[in-house]
Structure 1
Amino acid sequence: MPIELKMPALSPTMEEGTLAKWLVKEGDAVKSGDLLAEIETDKATMEFEAIDEGVVSQILVAEGTDGVKVGTVIAVITGEGEGEDAGAKAAPTPAAKEEVKAAEPQDVAPAKAGAASVSAPTPAAPASARATEKAPPAPAKSGDRIKASPLAKRLAAERGIDLATITGTGPGGRIVKDDLDGAPAGAATPAAAASAAAPAAPAPAATSAPATAGPIPDFGIPHEDTKLSGMRKTIARRLTQSMQEAPHIYLTVDIRLDALLKLRGELNASLESRGVKLSVNDMLIKALAVALERVPACNVSFGGDVMRQYSRADISVAVSIPGGLITPIITDAGGKSMSKISTEMSELAAKAKEGKLQPAEYQGGTASISNMGMMGIKQFTAVINPPQAMIMAIGAGEKRPYVVDDALAIATVMSATGSFDHRAIDGADGALLMKTFKELVENPLGLVA
């Protein structure tokens, strides 16, 4: 019996994703645990595993397709003994058909629909014929229907490439982006020209794009446009939402680091045999968690008509990765030793940079910390990560003139700035948290008690 493979929900909030890459092709035999595809969510690229055995009889959504809704049928598997005919007869349910129709790259449409085509389309071949054809695809001839992904169509129109001269290497001979590399550019096809001249029909707003997104004016400056990744769209949307909805209040304190640096050196000497090396950031994560436990009024989230009070401090730590930023979480950081925090942070940061974080490792958190001190930034303000109500921005520790015991001295000092959602956290409570954080860092034995 044919088995439909559907776009999985790889996180509790995932509604759609990008089918980044197929790791199998039609005709491949698969078994439970085999990797089928790489799917890009808003924060990471994750692998999709098979849970059934059989043969991949149909691939319904080409790799590189954006905005594939969760639940959309993306491929069909048949039992090894059922043959290709069984796979050809496997048809999605009526609801799934509509989803596939929306998600699957469509064949080139006539010029009046705004597609790049040089010939009138002919009726589509039956699904059974598409599923069983094995001959290598050839360039489309006059009168043939041209199959191409939306990205390939757009790039072909921009570069003036005639798709009828291109041999597709995608599923079923579909033309994909890679097929256009090296193809000779020429004059835009008549359909493409007509499309460019005609006003485009308004497209539905993408849920993952920022509400204020719009075309960038062309001032004649040499440039190159790069399509936004799902991660970058999500960052733009969430930060825009945060600044529009949450009234930020910023509170800054200068903190002397000498005692903490001394304690760090002593702890690292004792932990060396265990292969653990504490960073200043590990100790600041602990300090923020303990401060939130001591000032619970700041360990909250604002929910419109409710205030959520958290009973533990889960700290989201900003980590820069290629293409954006992600915040892996140290759960119950106040209840963990600094050596445990250090070990977990090293593992999470490595997974983040490899794009292998699981949703539970970066979704949630009760407050965030962002440290740019290692890049020499003296002070900055960070944007709150909703639905959290505060984030701590850490600047560089540097030698400064500082009053110590009523005398001017040279001390290692850093500036820390808390951003607070003023709907949820009053200024006095935010100030108390900053004071508590400062005291913990300047008297760090409280972090190991």
Structure 2
Amino acid sequence: MGDPGVTDEAAARTVREERALSPMRKTIAGRLEQSYREAVHVTLSRSVDAEALLRAVDDADETAEGGNPSMVDGLLCALSDALEAHPAFNATFEDGTHVLYEEHNVGVAVAIEDGLVTPVLADVGSKSLGELASERRQLTERVKAGEYTMSTFRGGTFTVSNLGPLGVDSFDPVINPPEVAILGLGRVTERATRAEDGVAFRRRLPLDLSFDHRVVDGADAARFLGTLTERLDAADEYV
């Protein structure tokens, strides 16, 4: 005889709720499918010293036009310099053509009720730290309030996604098609570092760069992250 406590019946499932995808969520789902269907995703990760960046942002609180820049605003300044030095990443790839752009139109991911969207900050390289802070804040507020059109999300050449405030240490960001790359930001943490007079605690920022391996190689991506690290170390120049 078999065990009386074991049955061949499937476990019961009681439907709690059925949710149809909203038009925005359908668009997001379609673009994610397109990204994984078409792009060859590879992600490189690097942890960088964030002291210069965070110090520059603190110093700019009162002096920067628009006021109160965040870490992301400072990073956008450094990112623009890195994109200028490595233009293959400031690009799209469609119909077998790698198109490089002059403007650095950076999509900065924003979480709304229907999912993650990427409003585009136009021509980041032409703006000061304060201007970026003011424009990004206004753009984010409009998107969260639902005051946007589809053109708000078009024309991007690169994307940044920041999950650090949600406690995420590292992740593999998904490329926003037809762009070539996306940069993920993780949680800033303190680490003990050997110093001349003993041990110092320094803040570090995890960077995760996903790129389309059809267009750029791992060595190219490593050099891009190297330039970005150098520019972050010189972040006081943006104040």
Task: Give your verdict on TM over 0.5.
Answer: yes
Kept after mapping to 2: 8 A contact 1:440/1:447 = no
Between the aligned partners of 2:20 and 2:30, the Cα distance in structure 1 is 15
Which residue in the other structure is 1:284 paired with?
75
Which residue in the other structure is 1:430 paired with?
221
Instruction: Supply the AA of the counterpart residue of 2:116.
Output: L
1:259 aligned onto 2:52: yes
Instruction: Supply the AA of the counterpart residue of 1:288.
Output: L
Instruction: Tell me: CA distance 1:310–1:219, structure 2 relative to 1, closer, same or farther (3 Å).
Output: farther
Which residue in the other structure is 2:27 paired with?
234
What do the CA deviations read for 1:358-386 (whole angstroms, capped 9, x no partner)? Answer: 33321121000001111111111100000
Mapping for residues 40-51 of structure 1, pairs under 5 Å:
none
1:349 aligned onto 2:146: no
Which residue in the other structure is 2:123 paired with?
332
Between the aligned partners of 1:263 and 1:405, the Cα distance in structure 2 is 24
1:401 aligned onto 2:192: yes
Kept after mapping to 2: 8 A contact 1:368/1:390 = yes
Kept after mapping to 2: 8 A contact 1:253/1:438 = no
1:370 aligned onto 2:161: yes
What SS does the aligned partner of 1:276 have?
A: coil
Between the aligned partners of 1:405 and 1:335, the Cα distance in structure 2 is 39
Instruction: Supply the AA of the counterpart residue of 1:380.
Output: F
Instruction: Supply the AA of the counterpart residue of 2:94.
Output: G
Larger Rg: 1
Which residue in the other structure is 2:110 paired with?
319
Q: RMSD of the alignment, in Å?
A: 1.9
Instruction: Tell me: CA distance 1:408–1:248, structure 2 relative to 1, closer, same or farther (3 Å).
Output: farther
Between the aligned partners of 1:325 and 1:440, the Cα distance in structure 2 is 28
Which residue in the other structure is 1:243 paired with?
36
Between the aligned partners of 2:167 and 2:88, the Cα distance in structure 1 is 32
In structure 2, the gaps of 5 or more residues are 1-10
What SS does the aligned partner of 1:261 have?
A: helix
Between the aligned partners of 1:266 and 1:279, the Cα distance in structure 2 is 11
1:223 aligned onto 2:19: no
What do the CA deviations read for 1:34-82 (whole angstroms, capped 9, x no partner)? Answer: xxxxxxxxxxxxxxxxxxxxxxxxxxxxxxxxxxxxxxxxxxxxxxxxx
1:302 aligned onto 2:73: no
Mapping for residues 33-432 of structure 1, pairs under 5 Å:
220-271=13-64, 276-403=67-194, 408-432=199-223
The CA deviation at 1:349 is: 0.6
How many residues align structurally?
229
What SS does the aligned partner of 1:307 have?
A: strand
* TM-score calculated relative to the size of structure 2: 0.89
The CA deviation at 1:275 is: 5.4
Kept after mapping to 2: 8 A contact 1:298/1:429 = no
What SS does the aligned partner of 2:62 have?
A: helix
Instruction: Tell me: CA distance 1:270–1:438, structure 2 relative to 1, closer, same or farther (3 Å).
Output: same
Between the aligned partners of 1:414 and 1:405, the Cα distance in structure 2 is 23
The CA deviation at 1:415 is: 0.6
Kept after mapping to 1: 8 A contact 2:66/2:130 = no
Which residue in the other structure is 1:188 paired with?
none
The CA deviation at 1:308 is: 0.5
Instruction: Tell me: CA distance 1:424–1:404, structure 2 relative to 1, closer, same or farther (3 Å).
Output: farther
Instruction: Supply the AA of the counterpart residue of 2:89.
Output: C
What SS does the aligned partner of 1:270 have?
A: coil
Between the aligned partners of 1:275 and 1:387, the Cα distance in structure 2 is 32
Kept after mapping to 1: 8 A contact 2:47/2:205 = yes
Instruction: Tell me: CA distance 1:405–1:308, structure 2 relative to 1, closer, same or farther (3 Å).
Output: farther
Instruction: Supply the AA of the counterpart residue of 1:444.
Output: A
Between the aligned partners of 1:416 and 1:424, the Cα distance in structure 2 is 20
Name whichever of 425-434 and 352-361 sits farther off. Answer: 352-361
Between the aligned partners of 1:366 and 1:396, the Cα distance in structure 2 is 25
Structure 1 consecutive aligned stretches of length 4 or more whose deviation exceeds 6 Å: none
* TM-score calculated relative to the size of structure 1: 0.49
Higher relative contact order (CA 8 A, sep 6+): 2
Instruction: Tell me: CA distance 1:358–1:222, structure 2 relative to 1, closer, same or farther (3 Å).
Output: closer
Identity in percent: 35
The CA deviation at 1:304 is: 3.1
